[in-house]
Amino acid sequence: MSGAAHPQSARTRPRLATVFEIMHPITWFAPMWAFACGVISAGVAPEGIHWLMIAAGVLLAGPLVCGTSQIVNDWYDRHVDALNEPDRPIPSGRMPGQWGLYLGIATTGLALLVAAALGPVVFLAACVGLFLAWAYSAPPLRLKRNGWISNAAVGLSYEGLPWVTGAAIMATGLPDWRILIVALLYSIGAHGIMTLNDFKAIDGDRQMGLKTVPVHLGAQNAARLACVVMALPQVAVISLLLAWDQPWHALIVGGLLAAQLLLMVRLLRDPKAYAPWYNATGTTLYVLGMLASAFALGGMLGGSA
């Protein structure tokens, strides 16, 4: 019966489309956006070799580091997926044998090579990101079992590290301390975004023994915490922008935060029902605030260069 359900299960190697599928391209947007924010925040006008380095950085942030994390996650979740999502590439047999593991190792190696070519700061950031990519899913650490730790790891990997990577490429070294602070603040706020993302699988996570924040605190308390965690770093960013004499950018970020607060009111009425809606609306405002902050930093640092 399994052969009839999955006629491709006899394949000895995956198709290119299957490789692309297991890397979950839709997840690449967040780190590539943060990378772009890093490039902008450095305040350096791209020219010549910069464009090639930016293209390599986009490849590193999206398909390589983020893509690796998706491959590794699917590999170590293959037994669970066989029960819950049997049509995924590995349990369906479209990614046969040990190919999932081999692909994860190959993309890790390629990511390290690209990062090394982009400088020591980028290489260090990539090493941290790849370590978290494997630690998130692979035993013995398997960070995903604890939502507090795993959400922090994902927030850092999706927001902070790509931002630092983009800034380091343009600054050809360690970015300005103000860039590092803003990148860290948005990484902290992303913990709340990831908490809301966990709402879609509360029941399944509870049955699997995964201690996500919604499982640990309950839906209502987890939603309240997520809202606070998303909002406070943005308040800090606004305060910093004002202190750095960037009032117009602070006003933009403040307006975007005010709109998020209005959306949070609806979210808190029924967190389980409205979490996906908020992730599509409030999160968009959050990342637009990242971009505004990046322009503020870029204008400030570029003007002082």
Is the same domain home to 45 and 136? yes
Q: Which tens digits make up the pLDDT trace of 111-122?
A: 999 999 999 999
Query: For 142-155, what is the mean pLDDT?
Result: 92
Q: Which of 140, 160, 175 is the last residue of a domain?
A: 175
Residue 42 corresponds to which tokens in the numbers above?
């450095």
Query: For 253-265, what is the mean pLDDT?
Result: 98
Amino acid at 86: P
Is the same domain home to 16 and 59? yes
Is the same domain home to 84 and 206? no
Peptide bond into 140 cis (omega under 30): yes
Residue 169 corresponds to which tokens in the numbers above?
């490429």
Is the same domain home to 102 and 211? no
Is the same domain home to 35 and 103? yes
Q: Please give the tally of structural domains in the chain.
A: 2
* CA neighbor of 278 nearest in space, from 217, 192, 157: 192
* CA neighbor of 254 nearest in space, from 194, 296, 207: 296
Q: Which of 126, 141, 175 is the last residue of a domain?
A: 175
- pLDDT attached to residue 158: 95
Is the same domain home to 28 and 102? yes
Domain residues for the domain of 243 are 176-305
Q: Which tens digits make up the pLDDT trace of 73-108?
A: 999 989 888 877 889 999 999 999 999 999 999 999
* CA neighbor of 267 nearest in space, from 211, 224, 215: 224
Is the same domain home to 146 and 188? no
Query: For 141-169, what is the mean pLDDT?
Result: 94
Is the same domain home to 5 and 128? yes
